[in-house]
Amino acid sequence: MSTQKPNSNLSQKIITFLLIVKLMLIGAQADKRIQQGDAPIEVLIWMINQCIPVLQQAGKLGDQQNQDNQKNLKAKK
């Protein structure tokens, strides 16, 4: 199990980094849409719709970390 933990940690860090990049790209695309003349409220609604899957993925990642931590605590007992 000790070999899986570093790989798991690395993959979780990579996923977190990619989610942050995705959010930054959503923000840049929203700025571009506003500059092209879209109404700010429409862009805000679009951003919320784009961010929902990112938040869901982040929640799943957090749940997975909690499950891994609980398994590690049980294994140590």
Nearest to 17 by CA among 68, 57, 47: 57
Nearest to 20 by CA among 54, 56, 61: 54
For residue 1, the model assigns a pLDDT of: 43
The size of the chain, in residues, is 77
Q: Which residues contact 60 (CB under 8 A, 6 or more apart)?
A: none
Kindly report whether the global pTM for this prediction surpasses the value 0.85: no
Nearest to 52 by CA among 15, 17, 26: 26
pLDDT digits (tens, 9 = 90+) for 17-75: 998 999 999 999 999 999 999 999 999 999 999 999 888 888 888 888 888 878 877 77
